[in-house]
Amino acid sequence: MAFEGLSEKLEGVFRRLRLRGKLKESDIKEVMREVRLALLEADVNYKVAKDFVAAVSEKAVGAEVLESLTPAQQVIKIVRDEMTALMGTENVRVRFSSKLPTILMMCGLQGSGKTTHCAKLAKYFKSQGRRPLLVACDVYRPAAIRQLQVVGEQVGVPVFEMGQIDPVTIAKKAISRARDHGDDIVILDTAGRLHIDEELMQELARIKEEVGPHEILLVVDAMTGQDAVNVAKSFDERLGISGVILTKLDGDTRGGAALSVRAVTGKPIKFIGMGERLDQLEPFYPDRMASRILGMGDVMTLIEKAQEAVDEKEAEKLAQKMRRNTLTLTDLLDQMKQLQGMGPLGQVLGMIPGVKVKDEDAARGERELKRMEAIIFSMTKAEREKPSIIDPKRKRRIAAGSGTRVEDVNRVLRQFNEMQKMMKQFNTKKGRAQLERMGRGFGV
């Protein structure tokens, strides 16, 4: 997962800090050296890491910190605040034009995920009730137009293309088409290269001059570390980008690009790509990302994902069934689908404060969910509604149908029985009182 190496190193540093109780200035200096080393190993820009450590050190050696009852917590808070400031303090949204359509010009090198993220962005805006139009301005890369058409079809957004002619002409015609058809956002998928060259920059500059995009968004691959920051700097100097979309943050990236790009270019990260699926695009919130890096979770994003995945009416029906203790395996299957709709299991669990999930454990959990899903799908409707009728013969049939073993079927049934017992326990007066105490503990 993204930032896993950096998070583990910083957590180790702060764990030792908490054990020391009262802190001296020499303790702060020692800790800051380790923090600086962790940042550099995460491929954070050298000057950015140096300035970050200097800013934290200056605030951390103040009397209010060193003389406080919990100096370690004060230092960690300062680190979190400075890390948030480093990445931009607040979420910077796309600016929409008062005169339709709003034109977004997407640019980046080949392999950064530009075309895919054009579709992700279109899906994101469509979910907000807008009418995006994708435009194929990459007329050089083999199959680029077809790729945009495929992903456009997957997200249900129209794609405008005119073949391999001048990209400026395509962009102009697309904007006229958008005005005629009421499309309020035009997303231009421009050409990329394997590296930055003069020909590419001149073409992008022509499109900018002729079309006048309201936003120029650069798509950069977080896996490339400091190269991503250098690319962003080069594009900004030539085009004047308005923001960055950082992709592949779900991969084995060290995190340096996310921490450095704003400080080096002065331009905000507006979105992050968290997976290959076309719905795995998130607005970038610096404070939430800082919390993730420091192992504090990301409750707000978790809540937002849950609100998107869970249907309110279905949730109320489920709550009523839980109160009556009439849950079925069909209900369990529905809950599993909603959980999967929130994203990869490792990402979802990683947003819960204090929960640490290794990649291999998350993968094992994903496999277990799929196995459980296959087993329930292999049951008849009657078996799902009343699992008590499942005898050894039925178990063998279910196992054969799902490609699993009878032991796996038994485990699913046992887990379901344990869940029913738990629901029954919480429906007692004592159980409800326990739930209320838990709720108060979470501020409910």
Average pLDDT across the chain, whole number: 82
Domain boundary among 246, 269, 296: 296
One domain for residues 286 and 308 = no
Tally of structural domains, the chain: 3
Question: Model confidence over 102-158: pLDDT tens digits?
Answer: 999 999 988 888 999 999 999 999 999 999 999 999 998 878 999 999 999 999 999
Contacts of 135 (CB under 8 A, 6+ apart): 159, 160, 161, 170, 171, 174, 186, 187, 188, 189
Q: Are 101 and 115 in contact (CB under 8 A)?
A: no
One domain for residues 180 and 214 = yes
Alpha carbon distance 125, 310 (integer Å): 20
Q: Sign of the C-alpha dihedral, residues 66, 70, 74, 80?
A: positive
Q: What pTM value is reported for the model?
A: 0.69
Question: Model confidence over 60-98: pLDDT tens digits?
Answer: 877 666 566 577 777 888 888 888 888 887 888 898 988
Structure tokens belonging to residue 91: 């979420």
One domain for residues 268 and 126 = yes
Q: Are 410 and 395 in contact (CB under 8 A)?
A: yes
- On whether residue 33 sits in a domain, the answer given is yes
Q: Is the pLDDT of residue 247 over 70?
A: yes
Q: Is the pLDDT of residue 391 over 80?
A: yes
Q: Are 322 and 423 in contact (CB under 8 A)?
A: yes
Alpha carbon distance 380, 328 (integer Å): 12
Question: Model confidence over 189-235: pLDDT tens digits?
Answer: 999 887 788 888 899 999 999 999 999 999 988 877 778 888 888 89
* CATH code of the domain containing 364: 1.10.260.30
| CA-CA-CA-CA dihedral for 21, 26, 29, 34, to nearest 10 | -60
Domain boundary among 87, 115, 142: 87
Domain boundary among 278, 296, 314: 296
One domain for residues 186 and 141 = yes
pLDDT tier at 243 (50, 70, 90 boundaries)? very high
* CATH code of the domain containing 64: 1.20.120.140
Q: Which residues pair with 221 in a beta bridge?
A: 247
Alpha carbon distance 165, 344 (integer Å): 40
Distances (CA, A) of 370 to 251, 344, 366: 22, 12, 6
Q: Sign of the C-alpha dihedral, residues 174, 175, 180, 186?
A: positive
- Which domain range does residue 240 map to? 102-296
Which pLDDT does position 39 carry in this prediction? 87
Q: Are 259 and 39 in contact (CB under 8 A)?
A: yes
Residue 331 backbone phi and psi in degrees, to 5: -65, -40
